[in-house]
């Protein structure tokens, strides 16, 4: 695979929206019940920024989707006024069949380089990046730790998961989540 990392452009928007529509089905384990809000949480929001990972070999083949991963950069929240405008929140997703190939690492490296470069041109400097993930997602936690993110909190029973077995019997489970942050210099 030849990988290209870039900011989402208008020319890739249609493919990106299609990629996002299929992402919830790949993100959760088989049997997990998804509701409308789960699906909507993966949709494209024009106010966010996106960095995408493109498989250039697939790009050359016609009718093949080439986006294999992305970072969503959620802009500072204004609901607290200026108090949190120095923080961005990010989330990384990589298609299941492409996980473990260094795509998340390349996406994160590209994003961090870009944020440091663009910080010079911002009215308000971004001085913190935060992210949140399932506590059992040790590979992703390690990825962020390799980029000097620190664990800031463990939220107990933060994520409820309802799954169905083959007999349509529902089971509820709760997962802990980890908040991580990186302070920029």
Encoded tokens for 120? 């010079």
Dump pLDDT digits (tens) for 122-163: 777 899 999 999 999 999 999 999 999 999 999 999 988 888
The residues that bridge with 73 in the sheet, in sequence order, are 49, 90
CA dihedral (136, 148, 75, 124) in degrees, to 10, reads: 160
pLDDT score recorded for residue 63: 58
Dump pLDDT digits (tens) for 9-60: 999 999 998 888 878 666 666 777 767 777 667 788 888 999 999 998 866 6
User: Under a CB-based contact definition with an 8 Å cutoff, are residues 10 and 44 in contact?
Assistant: no
pLDDT score recorded for residue 25: 66
Domains and CATH numbers, the chain: 3-183 (3.40.630.30)
């Amino acid at each position: 695979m030849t990988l290209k990392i870039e900011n989402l452009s208008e020319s890739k928007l249609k493919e990106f929206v299609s990629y996002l529509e299929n992402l919830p089905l790949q993100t959760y384990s088989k049997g997990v019940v998804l509701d409308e809000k789960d699906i909507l949480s993966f949709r494209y929001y024009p106010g966010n920024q996106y960095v995408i990972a493109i498989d250039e070999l697939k790009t050359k083949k016609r009718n093949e989707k080439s986006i294999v991963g992305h970072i969503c950069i959620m802009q500072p929240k204004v609901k607290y006024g200026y108090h949190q405008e120095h923080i961005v929140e990010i989330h990384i997703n990589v298609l299941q069949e492409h996980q473990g190939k260094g795509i998340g690492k390349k996406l994160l490296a590209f994003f961090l380089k870009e944020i440091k470069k663009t910080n010079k041109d911002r009215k308000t400097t971004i001085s913190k990046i935060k992210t949140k993930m399932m506590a059992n997602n040790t590979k992703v936690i390690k990825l962020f730790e390799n980029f000097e993110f620190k664990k800031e909190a463990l939220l107990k029973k933060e994520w409820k998961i309802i799954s169905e077995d083959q007999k349509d019997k529902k089971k509820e489970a709760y997962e802990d989540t980890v908040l991580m942050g990186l302070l920029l210099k």
